[in-house]
Structure formats: C-alpha cells, structure tokens
C-alpha cells in the first residue's frame, strides 16, 4: 500500500528524522515505480529545508535512473554544490552514471577531478586514484596516490594501493623497490605481506621467505604463516611448511575460534598441494604422508581421498586404494572417479567381470564418456581382453551419429588399433584428435611413440635382431625409419608440457629421436642428456631405461644391464608401467643372449602379470622354450604372441605347428623369416 506521511512538524528529532528518511529511501527502490514516485514527492515536500533534503535529492536521482532518465538524474545531482553536505556522494553518483550508464570514461574521471579541485583532501585524492584504476589507467593512478600519500604519509591504505598499481603496470622491480623503501622508513610494516605476496608470484621464493621471516619477528600474523607455508612447499621445505601450518592452526584456535574451520580447510589444501608436488617428483612415500595429514584437517574431503587413492594405485597398494574408494563411494555412490578406480582394482585382482561391470555402468549412462573409455581400453589390454573393446566403441557410435568425428572417440579408436598391432591406422585416428585441447597432447605423444617404434620392437635388443633376413637392413626400411624420425621431430614441436615432469618427458622423447638415427655421435649426445636427467631425478625409470637403450646401441651391454637391474629392483607403478615393461623385456633380452633363461623367464612372467597382452613377452618365452627343446610350450607361447599381435606381426613364430596355422602366409607370402625359419624347417622336419 502507499505510505501516507504525516504533516511536517516545526521541530523534528534527528533520530526520528533519520529513521523516517531511511524508510522512505528503502521504499524508493520498490519495483512499483508509481508508488515510489508518490512517496518521493511526499518526501520532497516533507524534507525541504531540512538537512536531509539533499539525501532526498540523491534518492530522487536514483528513481530517475530506474526510469531510464539519466539526464534528469544528472541535472538533479549537478544542483548540489561543494558547500553543501552530500556533495561527495552526489559526485560519486554522477561518476557512476557516466561510467555505467553512459560509458563515458572521461566524464567519469572529471567528477573526481572536480572533487579534488573543490575539496582537496587525502580522501578525495584517493577517490581520484581509484577512479583511474577502474578505467585501467594505473600510471595516472600512481601519480594521484603519491599526492595523497604526501598529504598523509602514515596512510597505509594509500601505500598499499601504490604498490598494487605498480604491479598492475607490470613494473615489478619498481614495485619491489617501493615496498622495500616504505619498509625501511619503519612506518609501513604491514606492507611486508604485499611485498612477500608479490615476490611469491614472481617465484622469488628465497627473498619471499626472508621477508616473511622478518615480518613474523615484528608481527606473528596468521597471514604471514599461511603465505610462508605456501612458499616453503614450493621450495621442497615440506616439513617446515607443515610446521608453519600447525602454528597457524594453534594460533587460530586460540585467537579466532570462528575461523578454525576455514583455516583447517586451507591447511588441508596446502598439505594436498605439497603431496602433489612430492608425487610429481616421485617422492611417493612423502606424498602419502602429506595426503594423510590433509585428511587429519579435513577428514571427509573426497578430492583429497581420491588423490590419495590414486597414489596408492600408482604404488600398486591395492588394499589401501580400495579402502579409500569404498569410503568415497559410501558418501557418494555415483562418484565417477572412485568407480573408475574400483574397476581398475578389480582388474588387478583379476576379477574381470566385476571390473567390466563398473565400467559398463558408467558407459551405459554416458557411452561418449571418452576419458572412461580410454581407461577401459588400457585396462582391457592389461587384462588380455582387447577383443572386448569394439562393443564399447560401437556403443559410442550408436549413441551419437557424430561420434566418429569426436576427438575423444578417435583417440580411443587410435589407442585400440595401436594396442592391437595396427600402428598406421592408430596414427590416422590419433591425427584426428591431434589439434584438440583435451586430447591433443596425449595423441601427439602416442604418435611420436609410434613413429619411433612402429613395430613395437625391443629397442636395443639383440635376440630377434638378425632373424628377419634381409629386411632388417634394406634401403627401403632405412628410408622409412628416417622419414618416421623426421615426422617425430615435427610432432615434438607441438608438445606444450604444463608440468616439470612433462618437460622432462619431452626432453627424453627429443633425445630418443637422436637414438633412432643409430649414429654414434647422436646416440652419445642423447646418452649425456639421459645421464643428466637420471642424476637430477631420483629413480627416474624413463631416464634409466633411455640410458640402458643408448648403452645397448653403443654395444656397452654391461652398463646397460646395470641400469636395467636398478629398475628391476624398484616397485612397479602405473605411471611408469610401459617403461617398466620395456626395461624388463630389454633385460630379459640380455639374459637370453647370455643363456640365463631362468632369470629372463622371471622377468617375462612379471611383464605378463602386469600386461597379459604383451605379445613380446610371449615371443621371448617361445624363443626360450624352443632353445630348451620344449616345443609344445614353445608352440603355445608363439600362439599367444600371434594372438596378441592380432595376427599382424609376421616375425612371430618359428615352430613346426606354424605350418598348420600359416594364415600369416596369406598376408605375407614372401616374408623371408617365415619362408626360411618356419616353412623350410617345418618341411624338413616332416620329411625326416
């Protein structure tokens, strides 16, 4: 209903006036503008001649703005003069109209310039400086702020604004110098936080830590401790970071009990960040410690629990991983990441049906969930069940007519084809995902791997080196290999790693290109890089494998063996799974060459335990059995190798039973090794 105002009395108390005017001003902003207009007119009538008249004028300008009449609003506000109360508020309102309604930056700033001209004070200078900052003119803002600071040298807010404006202009050195000069004056100690924050953003961690330690001697503020913990975590002072966090929590519990929950959340986040950093440096045990510490502060944080579960999975600690996943799924039964991990665990326990059930649940709900599908393909490979993959690809195709154009689909299809011995088709599909933001980088990595080793050979291995007749050294093959290396080098330029570990991986791949040339100078150059990485990155499996491979190409087998034996003693983890497999195969190759079949056999069994589709392991096993005259076992292993190469690898086989399974001859009738080592020997055996 419309508010009825009582007649104006001759004498009106300040308290009742303020209460009544507040009620009126609230009413002005009612959506029903006709009511607001009537109330406004009543207010004008009632408060004319009182100190509140100008407040009514400003409110009336707001009402005009609500009606879209900016010119009327401005004309009302212009009538308020510098001698009158609310002049500053009127100018601020005019500035807001010019900036937000008329988009006139020049007139916006002129309102604040008028204020400085008519009412010069630290406050109005500050308003003008803020106005310049609002229109992205930090250089002009700095000039004005400095004038404000001259008028009030002890105003910390202005000093802070100057520093931030200098940062805004990217004048970082000047900003640091400004903060340090202000601190030397001894009057702006609180600026230490701004300086430390800037140094941290500039990654000047040592200077930042020094500033914070000095700040804490003047003022043991919790903000300093929190920032100190962040800095310490960046420079691997993880235990010190944890102590800083614990100091924060003790202080907060005593001084700011209302903030305990927020500080605990912050402590959990920092501990999780430290854990991630440790994990990226392959300090897995310390990473576990800090994830557990994070859960002390925030025990139901599903994100931290999931990261810890993933770490346990990386370490192949199946029971601990399952415990974390179960806890997550208890609170969140449809948590996709935890469900994926449970599926992974079921695979490791060889509970294949249960694992596929978990994946099927996810993919039936969303068949185009390509991150899930790519994980499933990798796990089906490790379970020796790649023949199951096509039905999931078909589900995605049926779900969307555009599936075959999706980068995620093409990545998954490429992965399947690569794993089933079709590297050329795999390349074609990876190429379709290559430019995608989400899938591109992984696709390019895989394309480089294929270019450098299209036939999935044991690089540096010697057992099968001379079994392929003249094919191994043919001009055609050499030209093909050179073209592949050039392609890999071009693809390397497309990689943009976002993490330190990614940059290391890129360096290793770049130098694998030098290995692929087989030229001594190039191989030695690559070897020096691998040694440098291995020295700076403790127990770095890819670097150690690369070193061993280089040594094998240089025919320095004992040195290669030493590096491979180091890897063989390490605990398997899923991040380096492919490198572990390659290193075990290469070490097995060395043992086979020296007749140590038992030691080779143990390594090959380890390969198959972690990847049942490893056709190379079956091929080596077949070779060992053949050498030991155990032809039935040899036949079985060669048959498995033939199966898991998807009947595409013509180098597999060399046994009498191949004569009755020579579908390979349909595809490769003139392949030298088949003709010489399988067919001829089998015929000779039959004649005898």
Packing angle between helix 475-492 and helix 440-452, nearest 10 degrees? Answer: 160
Each as own residue / partner, the long-range contacts of residues 537-541 (CB below 8 Å, 24 or more positions apart, any chain) are: 537/281, 537/282, 537/504, 538/282, 539/282, 539/566, 539/570, 540/282, 540/504, 541/567, 541/570, 541/576, 541/579, 541/580, 541/583
Burial 132-144 (b: 16+ CB within 10 A, else e): bbeeebbebbbeb
Q: What is the pLDDT of residue 663?
A: 43
Token pair recorded at residue 86: 């609310």
User: With contact defined as beta carbons under 8 Å apart, do 195 and 176 qualify?
Assistant: yes
State the burial class of residue 125 (Cβ atoms within 10 Å of its Cβ: 0-12, 13-18, 19+).
Answer: buried
Distance CA 308, CA 303 (A): 9
| pLDDT the model gives residue 37 | 60
- What pLDDT was estimated at residue 39? 61
pLDDT of residue 53: 67
Sign of the torsion formed by the C-alpha atoms of 668, 670, 674 and 679: positive
What integer pLDDT is reported at residue 252 of this predicted model?
66
pTM, two decimal places: 0.59
Residue 240: how many CB atoms within 10 A of its CB?
Answer: 16
Structural domains of the chain, ranges and CATH numbers in brackets: 498-687 (1.25.40.10)
Q: How far apart are CA 583 and CA 216, in angstroms?
A: 51
Phi, psi for 649 (deg, rounded to 5): -100, 105
pLDDT score at 31: 47
Q: Average pLDDT for consecutive 10-residue bins of the chain (688 residues)?
A: 36 43 48 57 62 71 74 77 77 82 82 82 78 80 76 69 78 78 66 83 86 80 80 79 74 67 77 79 85 87 91 88 91 86 80 80 89 90 91 94 95 96 94 94 95 89 68 70 91 91 93 93 96 92 97 96 96 90 97 96 95 94 90 88 80 47 49 51 42
Residue 125 structure tokens: 């200078």
């Amino acid at each position: 209903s419309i508010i009825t105002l009582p007649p104006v009395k001759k004498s009106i108390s300040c308290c009742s006036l303020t209460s009544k005017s507040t009620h009126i001003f609230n009413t002005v902003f009612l959506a029903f503008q006709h009511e607001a207009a009537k109330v406004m007119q009543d207010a004008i009538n009632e408060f004319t001649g009182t100190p509140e008249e100008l407040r009514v004028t400003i409110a009336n300008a707001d009402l005009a703005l609500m009606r879209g009449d900016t010119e009327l609003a401005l004309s009302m506000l212009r009538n308020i003069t510098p001698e009158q109360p609310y002049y500053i508020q009127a100018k601020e309102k005019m500035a807001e109209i010019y900036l937000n309604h008329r988009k006139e930056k020049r007139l916006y700033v002129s309102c604040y310039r008028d204020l400085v001209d008519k009412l010069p004070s630290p406050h109005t200078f500050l308003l003008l400086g803020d106005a310049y900052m609002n229109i992205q003119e930090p250089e002009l803002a700095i000039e004005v702020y400095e004038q404000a600071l001259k008028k009030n040298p002890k105003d910390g807010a202005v000093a802070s604004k100057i520093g931030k404006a200098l940062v805004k202009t990217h004048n970082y050195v000047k900003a640091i110098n400004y903060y340090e000069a202000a601190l030397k004056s001894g009057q702006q100690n609180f600026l230490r936080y701004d300086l430390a924050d800037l140094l941290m953003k500039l990654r000047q961690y040592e200077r930042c830590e020094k500033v914070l330690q000095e700040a804490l001697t003047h003022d043991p503020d919790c903000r300093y401790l929190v920032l100190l913990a962040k800095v310490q975590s960046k420079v691997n002072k993880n235990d010190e970071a944890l102590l800083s966090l614990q100091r924060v929590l003790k202080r907060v519990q005593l001084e700011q009990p209302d903030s305990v929950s927020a500080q605990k959340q912050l402590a959990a986040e920092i501990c999780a960040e430290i854990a991630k950093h440790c994990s990226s440096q392959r300090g897995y045990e310390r990473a576990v410690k800090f994830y557990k510490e994070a859960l002390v502060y925030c025990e139901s944080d599903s994100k931290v629990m999931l990261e810890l579960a993933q770490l346990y999975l990386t370490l192949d600690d199946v029971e601990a991983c399952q415990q974390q996943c179960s806890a997550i799924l208890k609170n969140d039964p449809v948590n996709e990441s935890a469900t994926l991990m449970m599926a992974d665990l079921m695979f490791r326990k060889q509970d294949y049906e249960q694992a596929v059930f978990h994946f099927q649940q996810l993919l039936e709900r969303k068949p185009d969930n390509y991150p899930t599908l790519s994980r499933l393909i990798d796990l089906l490979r490790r379970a020796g069940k790649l023949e199951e993959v096509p039905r999931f690809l078909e589900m995605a195709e049926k779900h969307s007519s555009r599936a075959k154009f999706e980068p995620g689909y093409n990545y998954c299809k490429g992965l399947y084809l690569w794993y089933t011995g079709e590297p050329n088709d795999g390349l074609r599909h990876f190429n379709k995902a290559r430019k995608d933001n989400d899938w591109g980088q992984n696709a390019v990595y895989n394309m480089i791997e294929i270019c450098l080793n299209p036939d999935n050979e044991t690089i540096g291995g010697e057992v099968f080196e001379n079994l392929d007749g003249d094919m191994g050294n043919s001009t055609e093959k050499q030209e093909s290999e050179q073209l592949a290396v050039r392609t890999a080098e071009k693809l390397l330029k497309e990689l943009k790693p976002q993490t330190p570990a990614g940059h290391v991986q890129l360096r290793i791949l770049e130098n694998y290109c030098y290995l692929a040339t087989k030229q001594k100078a190039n191989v030695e150059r690559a070897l020096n890089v691998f040694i440098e990485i291995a020295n700076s990155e403790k127990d770095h499996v890819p670097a150690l494998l690369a070193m061993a491979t280089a040594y094998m190409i240089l025919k320095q087998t004992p040195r290669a063996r030493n590096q491979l034996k180091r890897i063989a003693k390490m605990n398997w983890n899923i991040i380096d799974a492919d490198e572990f497999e390659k290193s075990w195969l290469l070490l097995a190759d060395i043992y086979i060459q020296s007749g140590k079949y038992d030691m080779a056999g143990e390594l090959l069994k380890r390969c198959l335990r972690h990847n049942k589709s490893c056709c190379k392991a079956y091929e080596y096993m077949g070779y060992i059995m053949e050498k030991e005259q155990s032809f039935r076992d040899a036949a079985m292993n060669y048959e498995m190798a033939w199966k898991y190469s998807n009947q595409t690898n013509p180098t597999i086989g060399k046994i009498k039973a191949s004569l009755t399974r020579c579908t390979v001859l349909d595809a490769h009738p003139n392949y030298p090794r088949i003709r010489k080592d399988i067919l001829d020997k089998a015929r000779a055996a039959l004649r005898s």
